[in-house]
Structure 1
Amino acid sequence: MGKSKRNSPKPDSNRAERLAQRRAAQEQASAVVTRPFEGLAAECDLVALREFVPSATATLKLAPGVAAEREVILATVLPGAVAALVRAGDEPVAFVGTQTQHQSDDPAAGIAAAILWTQGAEPGDSLPKPSIEGGARLADVIDPGADLELTVHNDFDWWVPEGVTPDPQVAATIEQAKQAIMPSARLNLGGDGVGAAWWVDAGEKAHVRWVRPENEDDLMLALARVHARGGLHMGEGSRFAGSFRTHGLLVPVFDLDPERHPTEWEAPAREFGARLAEALADTSPMTGEERRSRDGLRARQVTLR
């Protein structure tokens, strides 16, 4: 006797439609790259540029095998939030954006495709959305061992070549963008600094968002140990605000006194970094207080998608 088909959904039934939608959602979720910049020395800064740094640029060091027709400048956001453009001039300059209008499931592949596009594009061309189907890995397009030599801007005047007067519409766009920008700075943590710690003046408060490269569970355990010992802070005028996860990394956030210059937080940040490094190296069993701290810290997490 054949198997009963009583439990099999009819092709045109609501249940069949729901099952198909569920399978499609599962396939889409499995296609998302959870840690797209893993393996790159600049991973933490790339995540910061992608997620929250308002205006910054860095000249990329391309991989030896890439035929470079022109230098490529990585930027936070470009006019129109395009993926890339080639600025016309005596020496055309290529720009690739990290914060784009059209997001993909693999931002690293999108940046790689945009970089390669710039090498054959005509001056004045722009790329709204790169194609990542069967494309190159970012680690094959840029030098994976190179850090980013960043220039942080407090405006978007770099959108226009030096010495060129923009037309009124472009000037108005730049001014509008400038009004929305929040002053930012990357903290100098010295040669022993881990990750990328970014200061931002948000008005009533300032913050440090510290993108860390460690495994999320290991970092959360270390934060809990530091918290249980009363060291989860960056000195007087600071408090731990919580953390968020994005692109496979955990980002602790500290609220700060906005009256202090960002450089004044560098020494306290290094001191906190030393406490955190000590906790990361601690392999002893968790205490009850540390477990309670970990549960509390996890409850204050959010995820950026």
Structure 2
Amino acid sequence: MGKAARKKERKEKVRDVFVGRPFEGLTAEPELIAMREFVPPATATLPLAGEHSDRTVTIASVLPMAAAAFVRADGEVFVGLQVQTRSGDISRDLGRALSWALSAQPGEVLSVADTRSPSQPGERLQDLLDPSADLDVQVHKDFSWWLPEGEEPTGEVAMSLQRANEAIMPTERLASGAYWVLAGEKAHLRWVWPAEENRLMQALARLSAAGTLTLGDGTKFAGSFRAHGLLVPVWDLDPEAHAREWVEPAEALGARLTEASASLDETPLDAAERRARDGLIGRQFTLR
């Protein structure tokens, strides 16, 4: 075979384009980010649109052996967020896994979604879901929901189940995108906030300068990290308090943040608030 023929036979190289905010445009964006980044055993029913709107598909934080999707023996369909590989567009990867799951048979598993072939119209999550619907996330105590009720795990699934359960940090959902997490001896509120980063930082600074950037006595703003295009503020909480005790303080804090953000249209940051913003920017960290 000649050189020209060999070149012709080579598969065309696909350029992987990075999408910094893969879930933009979806009301469920904060929940998708939280489930992918730091919520352990959690599930939610996907709000499918179009021809599949009558189907039931469960999206999960993580599936056995970090699979992209599978159909359980009882016919229940699952798609996983925390997976083994990814491309530059996580929404496209998940859309492809979802499309596979909708046509798969009971017992079939998709270990890794297609992350290499060229993008095609209509395959991202934004094309397959109702964009206005949020996710009703259910946080579980362990990963026993991987199996139908009464079924015992065996082989690799049993090993994967044990490892996953051992890695769980107790977590409870307080509001949309807001989760209480007990990390060892410390407790935190991690809140995926659906706002443009600069505007959110200004709103946080306004509350900080006013002394109201807390959830009450014994709490403090710890910093923030970025995840899939959104800023995630974090607060340190009293680890002795039950997660439910933070629901009302979180609602009040959310209302103050919303009000502070709206006020920016009328009143720019003053000198004290700008200094507070600079301090908050210096308290960004990487979640590990």
**2:188 maps to amino acid:** H
Asked whether the 8 Å contact 1:233–1:240 carries over to 2, the reply is: yes
Quick one: which of 33, 56, 69 aligns to 1:71?
56
For residues 275 and 236 of structure 1, the distance between their equivalents in structure 2, rounded to whole angstroms, comes to 17
**2:66 maps to amino acid:** A
Counterpart position of 2:7: none
Q: 1:207–1:67: structure 2 CA closer, same or farther, 3 Å change rule?
A: closer
Quick one: which of 49, 62, 65 aligns to 2:35?
49
1:146 aligns with 2:133: yes
Asked whether the 8 Å contact 2:65–2:157 carries over to 1, the reply is: no
Quick one: which of 195, 208, 217 aligns to 1:236?
217
Quick one: which of 63, 69, 84 aligns to 2:69?
84
Report how far residue 124 of structure 1 moved.
Answer: 1.7
Asked whether the 8 Å contact 1:223–1:294 carries over to 2, the reply is: yes
1:179 aligns with 2:166: yes
Counterpart position of 2:285: 302
For residues 279 and 129 of structure 2, the distance between their equivalents in structure 1, rounded to whole angstroms, comes to 40
Q: How does 1:30-45 map to 2 (within 5 A)?
A: 31-45=17-31
* Deviation readout 1:179-216 (Å, 9 max, x if unpaired): 2101111104xxxxxx5111111121111101101111
Q: 1:169–1:80: structure 2 CA closer, same or farther, 3 Å change rule?
A: closer
**2:130 maps to amino acid:** D
When the two structures are aligned, how many residues end up with a matched partner? 268
**2:202 maps to amino acid:** L
Quick one: which of 236, 256, 260 aligns to 2:237?
256
**2:26 maps to amino acid:** L
- Greater shift, 47-56 or 133-142, is seen at 133-142
TM-score, reference length from structure 1:
0.83
Counterpart position of 1:61: 47
TM-score, reference length from structure 2:
0.87
For residues 285 and 42 of structure 1, the distance between their equivalents in structure 2, rounded to whole angstroms, comes to 30
Counterpart position of 2:109: 126
Report how far residue 65 of structure 1 moved.
Answer: 2.8
Report how far residue 278 of structure 1 moved.
Answer: 2.0
Counterpart position of 1:167: 154
For residues 33 and 85 of structure 1, the distance between their equivalents in structure 2, rounded to whole angstroms, comes to 26
Asked whether the 8 Å contact 2:92–2:125 carries over to 1, the reply is: yes
For residues 176 and 304 of structure 1, the distance between their equivalents in structure 2, rounded to whole angstroms, comes to 21
Structure 1 residue ranges without an equivalent (≥5): 1-26, 189-194
For residues 67 and 271 of structure 1, the distance between their equivalents in structure 2, rounded to whole angstroms, comes to 35
Does 1 or 2 have the higher relative contact order (CA < 8 Å, sep 6+)? Answer: 2
Quick one: which of 179, 186, 197 aligns to 2:178?
197
Counterpart position of 1:245: 226
Quick one: which of 196, 203, 206 aligns to 1:222?
203
Report how far residue 67 of structure 1 moved.
Answer: 7.6
**2:109 maps to amino acid:** S
- Aligned partner of residue 144 in structure 1, secondary structure: coil
- Greater shift, 59-68 or 93-102, is seen at 59-68
Give the fraction of aligned pairs with identical amino acids, expressed as a percent: 53
Report how far residue 250 of structure 1 moved.
Answer: 0.7
Quick one: which of 103, 126, 132 aligns to 2:86?
103
Report how far residue 284 of structure 1 moved.
Answer: 1.4
Counterpart position of 2:12: none
- Aligned partner of residue 285 in structure 2, secondary structure: strand
RMSD between superposed Cα atoms in Å = 1.9
Report how far residue 168 of structure 1 moved.
Answer: 5.7
Report how far residue 303 of structure 1 moved.
Answer: 5.4
**1:174 maps to amino acid:** L
- Aligned partner of residue 24 in structure 2, secondary structure: coil
Structure 2 residue ranges without an equivalent (≥5): 1-14
Quick one: which of 200, 203, 206 aligns to 2:187?
206
1:267 aligns with 2:252: no
Asked whether the 8 Å contact 1:82–1:128 carries over to 2, the reply is: yes
